[in-house]
């Protein structure tokens, strides 16, 4: 019985709303744009923050990244060609961390340099990453073909390399990349594998370039020496850096921050100058998640203003409807309608208005992020909780802002209402 009454009231509410189509549409616009802006802004914020979080997660929450940083005074001296720049992480740092700091599972060093890669008449400047097999365990790469570096490659100082997919297409230009011999500098290397290209060069996960080539770090030391030559602003600069990066894997997340503090204390003791940088993905991840929450709250608050305006519009139109239908309300009360029934009827009309606006707003909020992604390439992600939250708020607004007009309609005196012209 209750279901039948509710269904009948909903049908009557929809019928009353459709009697004034243009007025109802204009009333709903505030809710439409409010809900649409909530969903769209949450999608933009979610996409941007998710991209940042994914970049941080690539190194893993159990890892710590140490990077060599050239001091400013060394840059100025190198620019004046007064001396060779010597800075950065040392192989001794690697040994001290691995052997002297508790809860360190393993360390993986990396050394970088620029060299021309050649195959026949084709050439391409490559970033050579000298590292060990464990690098591919800590920094995830999808293997496209062949294999990655192995432990025996380092033990035998093998002249083998792993290319990124992008670098392989530009340099090899052949379907049979595995087994090809390319010349890097003056040394020939056999291509044993291809990995998926990453486009985040310069991000936290550096080394991370479309044209990386990975070789055993022992081979790099033997074949290319210790001195690296850089060309900056048309000048030739020489530098001696034993390790450009050092990845540290910690046994468990609980020990990451403690290990990072111990590493920082050790480096300060053995490095008079601050020629290193410590990045802790776990700390960055927590900070990014906190920033994401704050960002969503701010965006939701701004969009909530639009919903508030839409709710005021619904209240305004419902008050006007009460005035227009005063005589109708008097007739219904005279033939036995209770105050509760009048309240329910007007509340249903308000909820129909706000609910319909919520549905249209959700559609708009889903469409806008897709357009943003197609036009600008910015990643967006429509969160399901955002859709549910925005629609739920729109229905709640119908109830809250429709309650006063409904109560006012129910409070009308039947005799006075019947005399209303």
pLDDT in tens, 155-166: 999 999 998 887
Query: What pLDDT score was predicted for residue 307?
Result: 75
pLDDT band at 148 (very low <50, low <70, confident <90, very high): very high
Say if residue 207 is preceded by a cis peptide, omega within 30 of 0: yes
Could you tell me if 212 and 245 are in contact, meaning their C-beta atoms sit under 8 angstroms apart? no
- Residue 149, pLDDT above cutoff 60: yes
- Residue 247, pLDDT above cutoff 80: yes
Rounded Cα distance between 173 and 178, Å, is 12
Query: What pLDDT score was predicted for residue 204?
Result: 42
- Residue 77, pLDDT above cutoff 70: no
Query: What pLDDT score was predicted for residue 232?
Result: 57
Q: Which residue has better confidence, 176 or 388?
A: 388
pTM equals 0.63
- Residue 80, pLDDT above cutoff 60: no
Rounded Cα distance between 109 and 98, Å, is 11
Label residue 21 exposed, middle or buried (CB < 10 Å: 0-12, 13-18, 19+). exposed
In this prediction, residues 331-360 reach a mean pLDDT of: 80
Query: What pLDDT score was predicted for residue 208?
Result: 47
Q: Which residue has better confidence, 76 or 246?
A: 246
Half-sphere exposure of 313 (CA within 13 A, CB side): 22
> What dihedral do alpha carbons 321, 322, 328, 330 form, nearest 10°?
180
Query: What pLDDT score was predicted for residue 96?
Result: 94
pLDDT band at 169 (very low <50, low <70, confident <90, very high): confident
Compute CA 403 distance to the chain's CA centroid, rounded to the nearest angstrom. Answer: 41
Query: What pLDDT score was predicted for residue 315?
Result: 85
Rounded Cα distance between 241 and 22, Å, is 72
In this prediction, residues 361-380 reach a mean pLDDT of: 86
Q: What percent of the chain has pLDDT over 70?
A: 81
pLDDT band at 234 (very low <50, low <70, confident <90, very high): low
Q: What is the pLDDT of residues 291-325, one digit of tens each?
A: 777 777 777 677 677 778 778 888 888 888 777 77
Highest-confidence range of 127-131, 134-138, 172-176, 338-342, by mean pLDDT? 127-131
Q: Where are the alpha helices (DSSP H) in 58-67?
A: none
Q: What is the pLDDT of residues 49-67, one digit of tens each?
A: 777 667 666 667 788 999 9
Query: What pLDDT score was predicted for residue 269?
Result: 92
State the average pLDDT for the chain. 80
pLDDT band at 16 (very low <50, low <70, confident <90, very high): low
Query: What pLDDT score was predicted for residue 5?
Result: 58
Label residue 255 exposed, middle or buried (CB < 10 Å: 0-12, 13-18, 19+). middle
Q: Which residue has better confidence, 260 or 80?
A: 260
In this prediction, residues 146-173 reach a mean pLDDT of: 87
pLDDT band at 151 (very low <50, low <70, confident <90, very high): very high
Query: What pLDDT score was predicted for residue 8?
Result: 64
pLDDT band at 200 (very low <50, low <70, confident <90, very high): very low
């Amino acid at each position: 019985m209750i279901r039948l009454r509710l269904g009948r009231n909903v049908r009557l509410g929809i019928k009353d709303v459709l009697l004034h189509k243009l007025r109802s549409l204009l009333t709903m616009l505030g809710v439409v744009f409010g809900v649409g802006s909530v969903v769209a802004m949450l999608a933009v914020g979610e996409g941007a923050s998710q991209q940042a979080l994914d970049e941080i997660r690539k190194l893993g929450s159990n890892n710590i990244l140490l990077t060599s940083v050239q001091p400013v005074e060394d840059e100025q001296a190198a620019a004046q060609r007064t001396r060779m720049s010597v800075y950065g992480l040392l192989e001794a740092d690697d040994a001290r961390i691995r052997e002297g700091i508790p809860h360190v599972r393993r360390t993986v060093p990396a050394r970088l340099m620029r060299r021309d890669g050649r195959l026949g008449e084709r050439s391409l400047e490559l970033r050579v990453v000298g590292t060990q097999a464990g690098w591919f365990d800590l920094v995830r790469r999808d293997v496209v073909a062949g294999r990655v570096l192995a432990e025996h490659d380092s033990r035998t100082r093998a002249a083998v390399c792993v290319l990124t997919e992008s670098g392989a297409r530009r340099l090899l230009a052949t379907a049979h990349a595995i087994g090809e011999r390319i010349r890097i500098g003056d040394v020939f290397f056999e291509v044993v594998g291809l990995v998926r290209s990453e486009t985040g060069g310069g991000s936290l996960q550096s080394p991370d370039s479309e044209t990386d080539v990975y070789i055993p770090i022992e081979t790099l030391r033997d074949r290319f020496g210790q001195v690296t030559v850089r060309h900056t602003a048309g000048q030739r600069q020489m530098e001696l850096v034993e390790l450009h990066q050092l990845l540290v894997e910690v046994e468990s997340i609980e020990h990451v921050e403690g290990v990072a503090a111990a590493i920082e204390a050790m480096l300060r003791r053995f490095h008079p100058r601050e020629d290193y940088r410590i990045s802790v993905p776990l700390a960055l991840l927590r900070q990014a998640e906190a920033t994401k929450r704050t960002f969503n709250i701010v965006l939701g608050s701004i969009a909530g203003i639009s919903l508030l305006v839409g709710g005021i519009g619904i209240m305004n139109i419902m008050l006007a409807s009460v005035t227009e239908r005063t005589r109708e309300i008097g007739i219904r009360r005279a033939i036995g309608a209770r105050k509760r029934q009048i309240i329910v009827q007007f509340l249903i009309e308000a909820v129909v208005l706000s609910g319909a606006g919520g549905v249209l707003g959700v559609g708009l909020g889903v469409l806008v992020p897709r357009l943003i992604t197609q036009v600008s390439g910015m990643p967006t992600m429509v969160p399901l909780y955002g859709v549910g939250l925005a629609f739920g708020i729109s229905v709640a607004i119908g109830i809250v802002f429709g309650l006063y007009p409904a109560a006012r309609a129910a409070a009308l005196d039947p005799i006075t209402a019947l005399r209303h012209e």
